[in-house]
Structure 1
Amino acid sequence: MKNRIITASILFVMLSCTRDDVNLDQHATYEAIPESLVTYAEKELSDYMNTPNVNENNFRLTMQYWQEVTYVSESNYNFTNRNVSDNIWGLNYINVLNNLQKAKDLINVYQPAASEISGWEVKKKNQLAIIDMMMVYTYQNMVDLFGNIPYSQALNNAQYQLPAYDNAADIYASLITRLNSDIANITNGGSFGSGDVYYKGDLSKWKKFGNSLLLKLGISLSDVNPTLAKTTITSAISGGVMTSLDDSCKFQYLSSSPNYNPIYENVFANNRDDFFGAKPLVDFLNSTNDNRVTKFFDDVDGAYIGQVVGQPGNFEDFSAPGTFAYTSTTPGNILTYTEVAFYLAEAAARFNLGGDPKTLYDKAVSASFLEWGLTNAQADDYLTANPFDAVNWKKSIGQQAWVAMYNQANVSYNFYRRLDYPVLVAPLTAISNAEGKVPVRLQYPTLEASTNGTNYTNAGTAIGGDKLTTKLFWDKF
């Protein structure tokens, strides 16, 4: 794994930095300012989490939201031909984590001018806390995709050119410790301002983000370490998680290239009709009379039609993604209130923490309706017809989180593996490596096998085999 610092040539604002000889290393950047690195890392993280590009993020296909029109390899879980794991590895380690680490380094060595000294220490702590929370978010996502990953030796190429892989459970414990420290370090004072595209430096929003992320970490551990899960969830709720859609962490895209939404880029700007609705989701929406189908998809002569998973088809015969996908400025989701609301419902159902499970479930479903521009009245009608099942709460929360996370497929993938709902069936045409199942992780990058072979081999052995069917440490049932 090579560690490089990459910054964008075009950002949302013109930022001052100088480049070394581009003939030697066109990606090398020196004298960059922390704000520019944070801006770039935020955009790269959002681009990855939201893109439907089959070279980088196929979870809309894996979660059977969308189906490919012509080239159906990824719908059948063939991620190797396009080096998907390599691309995800590079995007997150290099474009996101390394740039955030570089921003940390610059902040730590910065010598403030005399006029800045009085508020610098507080501002420094806030900036470092914000950066670290984004790093925690990114590391958790990587663990949740692969299992054991480089962590303690990552981002230090000078000392560890071939980093070892840490145990995934140990990484989770470390992330919880880091996040608790980050939350505690946020105090009134300076921050990043406009360099932080997510919250514009709003520290109250970042504190809610931190507690909401802490809740997410705790929920993930529910089946494997309930003691740590409960203490983490309790700390998050008492600290103050997101309470409305206004608290959601999103990246606001612009109307023109290269800063428009990556969904728009892939479904419209590239002049390709590559995706339409997948039958499992479309049929579920139709069977439950869900108004969200009108937002998720376009109709075909008044009907909503999805294609069988793994099969190609004519674009005109099936429901295309909805207007949101064809809008250049649709925000990119990082961590939303709707997602957090479902975690709260799960915490209540599992551990009797935070309130009444049905009430919190209803709030979560209603949040999804409101997020998609529908009304509380429509949500109430839907909930009357599709009430919470207190006995099989995993089914209720799992199915509704699947629907609600339609535009957060990576998040949906976690709900699916943790709760085992909805019941998704692999296509008969799926690659043999899937063993007739929907994959429960990604295989390690082929580049790691060739350049970091010993550590790659040890990691594969430690998790039970580098396979699509190897469950993560927290996926117990």
Structure 2
Amino acid sequence: MKKYILTLVFALSLIGCTTSDDVNLDPHATYNTTAESLVTYSQKELSDYLNTPNVNENNFRLTMQYAQETIYVNESNYDFANRNVSNSVWQDNYVNVLKNLDQARIITEAYQPSPSENATWPVEKANKLAAIDIMKVFTYQVLVDTFGDIPYVQSLDIDKYPLPKYDKASDIYASLITRLETDLVNLSSSGTVLRGGDIYFNNDNAKWKKFGNSLLLKLGIALADINPTLAQTTINKAIAGGLMTSSADNCEFKYLGASPNENPIFQSTESRDDFVGGKTLVDFMNNTNDSRITKYYGDVNGAYIGQVIGAPAEFAEFSPLGEFAYTPTTPGTVMNYTEVLFYLAEAAARWGIGGNPATLYNQAVTSSFTDWGLAADAAAYIAANPYNAANWKKSIGEQAWVAMFNQPKASWNFYRRLDYPVLLAPPTAINNAEGKVPVRMTYPSSEATTNGTNYAAASASIGGDRLTTKLFWDVN
């Protein structure tokens, strides 16, 4: 981890021209910046990581068999080591997101308000720190759900802990729930959240509150099989606090139409033919007459054709990704209302929390169709694919898989927790996959070389640094 943190460069720096008075300053370093600019950068970096299909960073569209590579099929066969993918995941989340958010926290805590700000600053400060920490909680959960045990308590103080210890994933989850609950108490319904640069919610306190509670729901449902008591308590608190209630509450990054601020999917597809539809999902949608296939993929002479997972593909012979992937301004989804509804459907199916599971299932599927501009098709689809209380994991798992098409990281969590859909590893998969679809990413190779003692302890703690080692909450 030391390697990454030491290469940190804060973004959006406010650097003036060098004069005779600052000849001793490094013109490439950041001496002045604002908390808001760091939050803006962190929001973009988090969205970029979650949404990019770049095989050096995020291969979950391939893992969840939504897409298949055309020429270079290493990652479709779970060879993530060749490109050091885990190193990039570590860098994206620890450096680009968490470290910048932590610097925003430091700047906020050190800020001295002017006399005219004295009256409003306490509430603004509390709001800003709460919003920053909500993003940190989200990002730490992403890392835990990817690797298991990770550096947490010592992770961001590189001066004191250049080689941080790893904390147990279950302990981190408990801490994330506690700190998120505190953040939600501290986040006022009034007063400024961020003075500018809040791309997610445009400084809307109510939407930040809904996002925080929806994240609390996500943390709670993840613990359903390993700690049902804490899971239910957490979920009930989230519902009582107020969740997302429509797509207007979605947590999204609004991308622009010009470089370098286009959607990272567009950046990976505009001049390359690297991806086509994965046969697993394409066949499933064809078999269920799912009109969303017209949005997810392009057709080939009127048909939707996916390539076998793990096999190379001639681009023109298979369905490409849909128009959304070739549109630079497609929003980057961090968390949305459809996702929340599927969590609620699952909580209702498990424990009767939050409503009727069939109703919530219908609402979740309808929300997904609505997201893609196909609301009129939802009722017929649900009638043909109704909720099955006798096998609710299959119903919710399969439909969440389809709906989370453009949220592959969230989809991977549903898959590991519910064990649906049934995905098969390709016969060409690397030996380290042991004939299975990966259920975690292995630690970065840089950790083994620069933080070896702590890496070895973490590997032993989780039961081995393998693609097949299940996370602590993945018990079935």
Short-chain TM bin: over 0.9
CA contact (8 A) 2:80 2:86 kept: yes
Q: Which amino acid aligns with 1:159?
A: K
CA contact (8 A) 1:44 1:91 kept: yes
Task: Tell me, in whole angstroms, the C-alpha distance in 2 between the residues paired with 1:78 and 1:52.
Answer: 15
**C-alpha distance 381-155 of structure 1, shift in aligned 2 (>3 A):** same
Match of 1:6 in 2: 9
The offset of 1:195, in angstroms, is 1.1
Work out whether 1:16 is the aligned partner of 2:35: no
The offset of 1:141, in angstroms, is 0.3
Q: Which amino acid aligns with 1:163?
A: P
Q: Secondary structure at the match of 2:154?
A: coil
CA contact (8 A) 2:39 2:100 kept: yes
Task: Tell me, in whole angstroms, the C-alpha distance in 2 between the residues paired with 1:431 and 1:24.
Answer: 50
The offset of 1:185, in angstroms, is 0.6
Task: Describe the superposition over 1:430-459 as per-residue Cα deviations: whole angstroms up to 9, x where unpaired.
Answer: 000000000000000000000000000000
The offset of 1:313, in angstroms, is 1.4
**C-alpha distance 19-243 of structure 1, shift in aligned 2 (>3 A):** farther
Which of 198, 208, 211 is residue 210 of structure 2 equivalent to?
208
Task: Tell me, in whole angstroms, the C-alpha distance in 2 between the residues paired with 1:312 and 1:24.
Answer: 52
Match of 2:238 in 1: 236
Give matches, 1:436-455, under 5 Å.
436-455=435-454
The offset of 1:16, in angstroms, is 3.0
Match of 1:473 in 2: 472
Task: Tell me, in whole angstroms, the C-alpha distance in 2 between the residues paired with 1:281 and 1:395.
Answer: 15
Show structure 2 runs of 5+ residues with no match.
Answer: none
The offset of 1:169, in angstroms, is 0.2
Match of 1:333 in 2: 333
Match of 1:12 in 2: none
Task: Tell me, in whole angstroms, the C-alpha distance in 1 between the residues paired with 2:99 and 2:434.
Answer: 36
Task: Tell me, in whole angstroms, the C-alpha distance in 2 between the residues paired with 1:434 and 1:193.
Answer: 47
Task: Describe the superposition over 1:393-436 as per-residue Cα deviations: whole angstroms up to 9, x where unpaired.
Answer: 00000000000000000000000000000000000000000000
Task: Describe the superposition over 1:233-283 as per-residue Cα deviations: whole angstroms up to 9, x where unpaired.
Answer: 000001100010000000000000000000000011xx1100000000000
CA contact (8 A) 2:194 2:203 kept: yes
Match of 2:219 in 1: 217
Match of 2:58 in 1: 57
CA contact (8 A) 2:345 2:360 kept: yes
**C-alpha distance 374-106 of structure 1, shift in aligned 2 (>3 A):** same
Match of 1:401 in 2: 400
The offset of 1:6, in angstroms, is 2.5
**C-alpha distance 432-22 of structure 1, shift in aligned 2 (>3 A):** farther
CA contact (8 A) 2:257 2:328 kept: yes
CA contact (8 A) 1:223 1:475 kept: yes
Task: Describe the superposition over 1:39-97 as per-residue Cα deviations: whole angstroms up to 9, x where unpaired.
Answer: 00000011000000000000000000000000000000000010100000011000000
Task: Describe the superposition over 1:98-141 as per-residue Cα deviations: whole angstroms up to 9, x where unpaired.
Answer: 00000000000110000111000000000000000000000000
Give matches, 1:168-317, under 5 Å.
168-187=169-188, 188-268=190-270, 271-317=271-317
Task: Describe the superposition over 1:174-206 as per-residue Cα deviations: whole angstroms up to 9, x where unpaired.
Answer: 000010000111111112143111001111000
The offset of 1:22, in angstroms, is 13
Task: Tell me, in whole angstroms, the C-alpha distance in 2 between the residues paired with 1:19 and 1:7.
Answer: 18
Q: CA RMSD in A?
A: 1.6
Q: Secondary structure at the match of 2:341?
A: helix
Match of 1:135 in 2: 136
The offset of 1:28, in angstroms, is 3.8
The offset of 1:19, in angstroms, is 9.4
Give matches, 1:347-426, under 5 Å.
347-375=347-375, 377-426=376-425
Show structure 1 runs of 5+ residues with no match.
Answer: 10-14
The offset of 1:351, in angstroms, is 1.0
Q: Which amino acid aligns with 1:42?
A: Q
CA contact (8 A) 2:64 2:412 kept: yes
**C-alpha distance 122-331 of structure 1, shift in aligned 2 (>3 A):** same
Task: Tell me, in whole angstroms, the C-alpha distance in 2 between the residues paired with 1:195 and 1:332.
Answer: 16
Task: Tell me, in whole angstroms, the C-alpha distance in 1 between the residues paired with 2:207 and 2:180.
Answer: 15
The offset of 1:17, in angstroms, is 4.0
Task: Describe the superposition over 1:356-413 as per-residue Cα deviations: whole angstroms up to 9, x where unpaired.
Answer: 00000000000000001112x3100000000000010000000000000000000000
Task: Tell me, in whole angstroms, the C-alpha distance in 2 between the residues paired with 1:278 and 1:168.
Answer: 32
**C-alpha distance 80-111 of structure 1, shift in aligned 2 (>3 A):** same
Task: Tell me, in whole angstroms, the C-alpha distance in 1 between the residues paired with 2:406 and 2:56.
Answer: 18
Q: Secondary structure at the match of 2:68?
A: strand
Q: Secondary structure at the match of 1:276?
A: strand
Work out whether 1:162 is the aligned partner of 2:160: no
**C-alpha distance 25-433 of structure 1, shift in aligned 2 (>3 A):** farther
Task: Tell me, in whole angstroms, the C-alpha distance in 2 between the residues paired with 1:182 and 1:174.
Answer: 12
Match of 2:429 in 1: 430
Task: Tell me, in whole angstroms, the C-alpha distance in 2 between the residues paired with 1:64 and 1:313.
Answer: 14
**C-alpha distance 193-433 of structure 1, shift in aligned 2 (>3 A):** same
Could you tell me the TM-score, scaled by structure 1's length? 0.96
**C-alpha distance 150-25 of structure 1, shift in aligned 2 (>3 A):** farther
Q: Secondary structure at the match of 1:333?
A: strand
**C-alpha distance 303-154 of structure 1, shift in aligned 2 (>3 A):** same
The offset of 1:7, in angstroms, is 2.9
Q: Which amino acid aligns with 2:231?
A: A
Task: Tell me, in whole angstroms, the C-alpha distance in 1 between the residues paired with 2:25 and 2:467.
Answer: 38
Aligned length, in residue pairs: 469
Could you tell me the TM-score, scaled by structure 2's length? 0.96
Task: Tell me, in whole angstroms, the C-alpha distance in 2 between the residues paired with 1:448 and 1:306.
Answer: 37
The offset of 1:307, in angstroms, is 0.2
**C-alpha distance 161-91 of structure 1, shift in aligned 2 (>3 A):** same
The offset of 1:330, in angstroms, is 0.2
**C-alpha distance 95-234 of structure 1, shift in aligned 2 (>3 A):** same
CA contact (8 A) 2:14 2:30 kept: no
CA contact (8 A) 2:127 2:186 kept: yes
Task: Tell me, in whole angstroms, the C-alpha distance in 2 between the residues paired with 1:267 and 1:432.
Answer: 30
Task: Tell me, in whole angstroms, the C-alpha distance in 1 between the residues paired with 2:204 and 2:145.
Answer: 28
Task: Tell me, in whole angstroms, the C-alpha distance in 1 between the residues paired with 2:26 and 2:275.
Answer: 37
Match of 1:112 in 2: 113
CA contact (8 A) 1:19 1:30 kept: no
Q: Which amino acid aligns with 1:447?
A: S
**C-alpha distance 198-22 of structure 1, shift in aligned 2 (>3 A):** farther
